[in-house]
A and B are shown apart, each in its own frame.
Chain A
């Protein structure tokens, strides 16, 4: 217990705790949008496709916040657009194209990182290492979280209309294509900012499970957003306090706690109201 209290007084622990709260809340908020858009599988694929972008960014510009961010964005865009291109120019459907391009991109990124001698970094990016977050990482997480909160609150009404009835939204003159690209860009930002904390594999859980849990608990889409943010934040903070005494990996503990909350919600709501 004393060890833990001493650990809590360290700047690294305080930074990690802040990171858990901020990333948990922001990703939770985003998860409501992802679940309502029914794009969980797409996000899962994209989260792994960031790896080659990161690897190429390190290869070309070295390790740095902005090079990683740009590399991840470029990879997400390239994989997303090339899967659309393959789907449009062949008989292969978009999901199949996305799956095959993401696995090829992932393999390429893995080989580049190994060639650069970054074996330890590979593990961090796959599964996250919240304790290695710097002040700059925390700043990026804060900025992304603030942007997410402001945009999702400001555009709550048009987003709901677009998510529920995109044709009527377009008929009312809403820029549905801009909303779609904006949502995509926000999701990529959330993915990148949570990469260091929970890694590309586990960030999918943080970006889907809180929203899916709220989907079981409420009949109102607008309640899913704040509810999912609270679930994401509280599970991440609780995981921080549990992982140290249990000696568990923090990222994995966050996802397991979220899965447990989902399971309990599933059992108590009997699968949710249809």
Chain B
């Protein structure tokens, strides 16, 4: 079923979430609660060390929560990992790896194909559609090392589309992009939520104006605590974090 059919019906619910890096360590997240449905875009904002990447790691299943719950349509999100596509920070990727744009997008089919099943016509069609949506067809045979920052981000978004994941988690996707690149990527994220029916959650370091242009919701974090969750328009009236925040 195309993802757009799920707009407004599939829900991510986070309840009183706490997380720490190791037993006995100071909690990196405390009492995070929010709920948001497919078809929306949500920005995680806050200063360095506020807990944005930690929250993304918990949602992606990379870090276990110490208490609270993360539910996808009422069931634990960890039981539906194929529904989540995680796009790490660009600095975390080896861009000299010998792989083409199409090769990266084809990796998105791994959760559906598993170990033994060969890619069939349907898989080819899905990969082709993902490349087309991200306007990557002319670049599909190009090595990823020869792409611009914006094209690299689009390649990863195409992989998420090929995975047919409903939840897209992006860690600082705008870092390193020039202004037109930020605009273009922002528009794409917006389109993926509105037209493709995905839920887009991204950690950002941008100004409130820029955030409001791309995202409809925002979650403001400070030292692991939630200061605000709601429509972006209300972000400016949110309580100021104790440390200087780029969103303030």
A-to-B contact residues, CB < 8 Å: 36, 38, 154-155, 157-158, 160-161, 163-165, 167-168, 170-173, 215, 218-222, 224, 273-274
Contacts and interface: CB of A to CB of B under 8 A. Distances in A.
A165 B84 CA distance: 15
Contacts of B116: 154
B110 A220 contact: no
> For the complex, would chain A's binding face be called helix, strand, loop or mixed by DSSP majority?
helix
Q: Closest 9 A-B residue pairs measured CB to CB?
A: A171-B86, A171-B60, A173-B81, A167-B88, A219-B143, A221-B98, A164-B97, A161-B107, A219-B98
B113 interface: yes
B184 interface: no
Interface residues on B, range: 20 to 34
Contacts of B81: 171-173
A168 B81 CA distance: 11
A273 B62 contact: no
Contacts of A170: 61-62
A154 B115 contact: yes
A173 B61 contact: yes
20 contacts: A36-B97, A36-B98, A154-B115, A157-B110, A157-B115, A158-B115, A160-B99, A164-B99, A165-B88, A165-B93, A168-B88, A171-B84, A171-B85, A172-B111, A173-B61, A218-B98, A219-B100, A220-B103, A222-B103, A274-B143
Nearest to B89: A167
Interface of B: 60-62, 81-82, 84-88, 92-94, 96-100, 103-104, 107, 110-111, 113, 115-116, 143, 145-146, 169
Nearest to B103: A220
A220 B142 CA distance: 10
A162 to B, nearest CB: 10
A167 B62 contact: yes
B61 to A, nearest CB: 6
Contacts of B61: 170-171, 173
B107 A164 contact: yes
B97 A171 contact: no
Contacts of A154: 115-116
Contact of A220 (B99, B107, B169): B99
Contacts of B62: 167, 170-171
Interface centre among A154, A170, A171 (most CB of B within 10 A): A171
A155 B97 contact: no
A272 to B, nearest CB: 9
